[in-house]
Amino acid sequence: MNTSFKKIQGGVTAPNGFTATGVHCGIKKEKLDFAIVYSQEQAVAAGVYTTNAVQAAPILVTKKNMKENKMARAFVINAGNANACTGEKGYQDAEKMVALAAEKLGCAKDEIIVSSTGVIGVSLPMDAVEQGIEQASVNLSKEGSCKAAEAIMTTDTYSKEIAIEFELGGKLVKIGAMSKGSGMIHPNMATMLGFITTDADIDAFALEEAIKDATGNSFNMITVDGDTSTNDMVAIMANGTANNEKVTLDSLEYAKFYEALEYICVEMAKQIARDGEGATKLLEVEVKNAKTKEDAKKAAMAVVKSSLVKTAIFGEDANWGRIICAVGYSGAKFNPEKVDISIGDEPMAIDGTGLAFDEDRAKEILKEDHIKVFVNFKDGDQKATAWGCDLSYDYVKINGSYRT
């Protein structure tokens, strides 16, 4: 982390001008299930969405709104029901969700970014949704970030949020975020939602490029189980209340803003991977000295999504052969006779050939809850990192009874 970034409390409400809350409206039996994050000032907005051909109604509505208007005032999110594969009624329900929220928040309909997560193929209970909008809109507060982060969870075991502050153009700027995701995690993106707020003043084009690139190096570099959802979204609002000189793509401050945003996205992505359904360990794979960035990305993702690698990590078995096997089918271009592999600080192979490594030391490394794997192609200067988790018995238990 750049030492000029300071971690702070507050999540999505840490930046100036943002409030939030989470409430229980009845979509779920007991837990919080509806959240609103609101900007008191109109904000520049951008988003990145699932590439699944089957896209949920809120994705379609948000994409339409964002195409017509690059400004936003609120994230409006429900959990417990994905409003996906629900036909024309589902689309109308998403539109109604937007209209109700806009009315309560006093803004235009195309300033609402709407999102849903949960079970696919079931119509939204609109009476509950209306109640959620009513309750949330009157309970927004600067202290509401934690409740909002909790309200967007599905099978997550903990809520995920972060905030940082840093200097930008002589002004103190803050970025906050919350996300959800635990299973059906795989690019592009995953069963994950990410919502980011900032008080930075940045133009729409620069913000769009920044969130697209940051997502490519973070949320699109994680995997839990190889499934890509119908509802995936990462969205950002920037309300400009920090009063820094406006950031543009060609301004000197763009690189610093981007570095901070990418840090936020990577930290959120790592939290999602660590909280994979049934997971006991975070798996981090770095591929370095590749000929191209794309080669490094392909190889790193192949390793973290390999079921054989994931089960070996769960079983604390230093089976490095599974790692080089995954690299081999990744589609990355490399010379197998030049590859070095290590788990933690224990070398496993040099120049594609296995070493007589210290089994006891390897076992100790694999007992940790954060396992790092390093693959060195020795063929260039490009690198990439991917994150995933182990694959445990509990993953099957959780997904064998998801609807119940």
Q: pLDDT digits over 333-368, tens only?
A: 999 999 999 999 999 999 999 999 999 999 999 999
Q: Which of 13-27, 52-66, 223-237, 305-319 has the highest mean pLDDT?
A: 13-27
Average pLDDT over residues 210-236: 83
**What pLDDT band is residue 370 in, cutting at 50, 70 and 90?**
very high
Nearest residue to 75 (alpha-carbon basis) of 40, 103, 36, 25:
36
pLDDT digits (tens, 9 = 90+) for 40-97: 999 999 999 988 888 999 999 999 998 878 999 999 999 999 999 999 999 999 999 9
Alpha carbons 146 and 148: distance in angstroms, whole number: 5
Q: Which of 15-24, 47-56, 177-186, 304-313 has the highest mean pLDDT?
A: 15-24
pTM equals: 0.86
User: Residue 364: which residues within 8 A CB-CB, separation 6 or more?
Assistant: none
Average pLDDT over residues 208-235: 83
Active site residue 191: yes
Average pLDDT over residues 268-277: 83
Average pLDDT over residues 5-24: 97
Task: Check residue 379 and give its pLDDT.
Answer: 95
**What pLDDT band is residue 267 in, cutting at 50, 70 and 90?**
very high
Task: Give me the percent of the chain exceeding a pLDDT of 90.
Answer: 80
Average pLDDT over residues 178-193: 60
Instruction: Give 278 or 289, the one with higher predicted confidence.
Output: 289
pLDDT at 189 over 50: no
**Taking the chain, what is the end-to-end CA distance rounded to the nearest angstrom?**
41
User: Residue 234: which residues within 8 A CB-CB, separation 6 or more?
Assistant: 47, 48, 189, 192, 193, 194, 195, 196, 211, 215, 219, 265
Q: Which of 21, 62, 155, 191 is catalytic?
A: 191
Give the 3-state secondary structure of residue 12.
helix
Amino acid (1-letter code) at residue 144: G
Average pLDDT over residues 259-267: 96
Task: Check residue 256 and give its pLDDT.
Answer: 96
Look up residue 85 and give its DSSP letter.
S
Instruction: Give 338 or 404, the one with higher predicted confidence.
Output: 338
Instruction: Give 351 or 190, the one with higher predicted confidence.
Output: 351
* Residue ranges of domains in the chain, CATH in brackets: 6-274 (3.60.70.12), 282-400 (3.10.20.340)
pLDDT at 138 over 60: yes
Average pLDDT over residues 182-200: 68
Task: Check residue 23 and give its pLDDT.
Answer: 98
pLDDT at 185 over 50: no
Task: Check residue 404 and give its pLDDT.
Answer: 54
